Structure 1
Amino acid sequence: MKLKNKTIQILGLSLFLILSLAGCSDSKKNVSSNQELVSVQVATSVLPKNQSYFSASGQIEAEQFANISTRMMGYVTRVHVKVGDKVVKGQSLIDINNTDMEAKKAQTQAGIIQAQARFNTAKKDLDRFQVLYDQKSASQKELDDVKTQYDIAEAQLENARQMQNEIDAMLSYSNIKAPFNGVITSKSVKAGDMANPGQHLLSLEAPNNFVAKVMVPETNIPFVHQNDSVQVYVKSSEQILAGTISEISTSSQNSGGQYLVKIKLGLPKETRLYSGMFISADFPTAHTNNNQVLVPKSAIVRKGDLQGIYTVSTSNTAILRWLKLGRSIGDQVEVLSGLSEGEQYILSAEGKIYNGAKLNIK
C-alpha cells in the first residue's frame, strides 16, 4: 500500500513538472510574439553620381570688419557702446581725454587769425602798389618787394590752416566714430583706462555679410577655380549653404603649404551665422569616385572610437555593422568599408534601436 502511494506521488510530481515546463514554453512564445516593433525609416546605399569631392575645413568671417584703435595716448573718458550693440556710420564709440589737443587747436585758431590779418594787409599793399606802378609812381623793385610780402603772408596763412587740419585729424582719434554700419563684436577698454597708440579698443563687423575662409592643400589647389560653386557645411547648426569662390591665394609661403581660399556665402532668410563658426567646404574635382558609398552623418552610431550603422536583415531586424569612414562631404560621410551599394540602412527610428530589434519599416 505504501509503495502504491509513493508511486502515485511520483507520477503526480512528474505531471506537475511537465505542465510547468509547458507553461513556461508557452509564456516565452507569447513574450517573443508580443515583442514591440520599432518603427524606422530606411534608405538604400548608392554610389555618388560621377563626381567626387574633396573637403577643406575653415571658419566663417565677416566680409567687412574693423579692429578699431587710436593714434593718441590718453585716458578713456567714456565708452558709448557695449558688445552686441548695433551702430551706424559716424556714431561716437569712444571718447579719449583731449585737453592737450584742444589747447593746441586754440593756439592754431589764433595763429590762423593772425596769418589772415597779415595776408589781408599784404593784399591791400599789393593792390595799392599795383595801381601806383601802373601810374608810373612806383618802381618795379618796390612792386616786387610788396609782391614777395604778399606771397609770404599767403604761405603763412596756408600753413596755419594745414596745422588746423592736422589738429582736427588728431582730435578725430580722441572721439572715435564708427567707420561703417555694423555690430560691436568685442570691447577691450573701459572708462578710466589709458589708451595707447595702436592698442586694440573695439571690433566692428558688418552683419549678414559673411565669407568662409578655408585652407586647401597643394595636392588639391589645381581643382579650385575662381567663381566655382561649392557647398559649405556649418558644423554647429548642420546647415548646408551655397557658396562661390571669390579669392584664391597664389602663395603658400607663410601658410605651411596651404593655400587660402575665400568663399562668398549666399545666405537664405533666417540663417543665423556668427564669425568664428567652423565649416567644411566641398570642392568638386574631375576625378570619379572609388566605388565608395555616402551615408548621412545623422545615421552613424558612435560607441567610443567605433563608428557603425544599423542595417536591415532579411527577417526585418536591426543589425549593427561597424564601418570604416573616410572624408566628410557636407552632411554626408564616405564609407570606405562595411557597407556596399544597394544595402538598406536605418535613417531614423521612433523608438530605441538595438541589435535584433524587430522593425516596422515605413
Structure 2
Amino acid sequence: MNYNFIKSGFFILGTLVLASCGNSNPTQQQTAPPPTSVSTYTVGEEEVIVVDTYPGVVVPLNEVELRAEVGGYITAIYIKDGQKVTKGQKLYEIDRTKYIAAHRAALANVQVAKANLAKAKKDADRYIKLNQQEAIAKQRVDYALTDLANAASQVAAAEAALATVASDLRRSMILSPLNGTIGISQVKLGAFVSPGTTLLNTVSTTNPIAVDIAINQKDIARFVKLQQNPATLKDSVFSIEMQDNTTYQMPGQIVTIDRAVDPDAGTIKVRISYPNAKNSLRAGMTCNVKVLNRIEGKQLTIPYKAVAEQLGAYSVYVVGDSSKAEQRIVKLGSVVGDKVVITDGVKIGDIIVSEGGQNVRPGAVVKSTPKN
C-alpha cells in the first residue's frame, strides 16, 4: 500500500474542510445601538407657592329666622319675596284687634291704680297730720299707711300687665331685625300662626358674605397666622372657584376659626368673608376655595412630565457617567403648575431626563439636549 499517497489525501481533505469552515463562519463584529435622544433638566431649588383646594359652602355672616311670637291670623304682608330690607322695616302683621283692646284695658287699669294710689296718699297724709295733733287713734294711721302700700303695689302690678300686653302688641307687627335680603315667605295672607313655632321667613345679610371650609387640624397654626396677617387680604390668598370654573374676583379674609375640632373628622371650620356687592354669591352655593400656601424654605423641583408611574411607584431617569441613564425611585411632594416638588430620590445638580423618557431603558446611553 502506498502510505505516502494516503497521507497526501488526508492532508488535502483536511485543508479543504478547514477552508470550508472558515468561509461559512466569518467573524462578525456587533455594533452598539445609537444613543437615545432626550431632553434633560438640571435639578435645582426654588421658592414654592402651592394652591390648596378646599370644598366650601356660601353662608351669610348674619341670618335670622322670623317666627311668630304671638298667635293670630296674618292680616298684612308688607314685602315681596327676595327683596332687600332695612332694620326696623315692617314685614308682617298679625291680627292686632285683641292686642289693641288688651293694651287699652291694661292702660285703663294703670290709670285706675294710679288714681287709687293718689287717694290713698292723700288719706295717709291727712291721718298722719291728725295723729300729730292726737286727734285720731294711732291705729287709723296704720290702716291708712297699709292702704297706701297696697295702692302702690296695685300700680306696679297694673304697669307690669301693661308692659306685657304692650309687648304682645308690638310683636303682632313683625319688623326686620337687620339690613339684608328676605327670602320666600313661608305663610300666605290669612294664614294662622302659632307663637314660637310658625316660621314666617328668613332674613340674611348678603354684603359681605362668607364661605365655610373645613381644614385639617394640623393646618390650624398656619390659618391662625393668615387670620392675623393684614397682608392676607392684599395678597388675595383666598380665591373662589365657582361651579362654572370661573374665579370670583374679590379678596377674602378669615373672620372666624371655630372654637373646637371635630373629633370624628379631625377638621375645624374656618369662615372667610368676601365682598358681595353684586350678589354673585348666594347662601347655600357650593364652590372651591383656593388657598395660596407658601412652603417655608426652598424646595427641589423638577418638571412633572419627567416622572413615570408604575404600580404606585414614581421614578425618573438620572443621566450619570458616560451619559448612561439610571432609573431612580423618587417621592413626590406638592404639584406646582407644571412642576412637582421632590422630597427624596434626587439632589441639587442631578441631570434628569425631562422628555423622551419613554424611549429610555435602564443603562442606555442617551444624547441629551438641556432644557432648564
Partner of 1:276: 284
2:119 to 118, 121, 128: 121
Structure 2 counterparts to residues 164-313 of structure 1, below 5 A: 164-196=162-194, 197-225=196-224, 226-228=227-229, 229=232, 230-236=237-243, 237-253=246-262, 256-266=265-275, 272-279=280-287, 280-282=289-291, 284=293, 286-287=295-296, 291=301
Shift of 1:336: 6.2
Shift of 1:334: 7.6
SS of the residue 1:250 aligns to: coil
Unaligned runs of 5+ in 1: 1-46, 295-325, 344-362
Which whole-Å CA distance do the structure 1 matches of 2:176 and 2:128 have between them? 52
- Rg larger for: 2
Task: Could you list the structure 1 runs, at least 4 aligned residues long, displaced by more than 6 angstroms after superposition.
Answer: 332-337
**Quick check: 2:63–2:202 contact (8 Å CA) kept in 1?**
yes
Unaligned runs of 5+ in 2: 1-44, 305-332, 342-351, 356-372
Shift of 1:57: 2.1
Shift of 1:99: 3.4
Normalised by the length of structure 2, the TM-score is 0.60
**Quick check: 1:223–1:284 contact (8 Å CA) kept in 2?**
no
CA RMSD of aligned residues (A): 3.5
Which whole-Å CA distance do the structure 1 matches of 2:296 and 2:185 have between them? 48
Normalised by the length of structure 1, the TM-score is 0.61
**Quick check: 1:64–1:209 contact (8 Å CA) kept in 2?**
no
Which whole-Å CA distance do the structure 2 matches of 1:125 and 1:91 have between them? 49
User: How many aligned positions are there?
Assistant: 261
- Cα deviations by residue, 1:135-183 (Å, 9 ceiling, x for unpaired): 3434544333212211111111111111111111122222111122322
Which whole-Å CA distance do the structure 1 matches of 2:257 and 2:214 have between them? 10
Percent identical residues = 22
Partner of 1:90: 88
Alignment-mate amino acid for residue 291 of structure 1 = T
Alignment-mate amino acid for residue 282 of structure 2 = Y
**Quick check: 2:54–2:214 contact (8 Å CA) kept in 1?**
yes
Q: Does the alignment pair 1:153 with 2:154?
A: no
Alignment-mate amino acid for residue 151 of structure 1 = A
**Quick check: 1:211–1:265 contact (8 Å CA) kept in 2?**
yes
Which whole-Å CA distance do the structure 2 matches of 1:203 and 1:131 have between them? 64
Partner of 2:74: 76
Shift of 1:191: 0.5
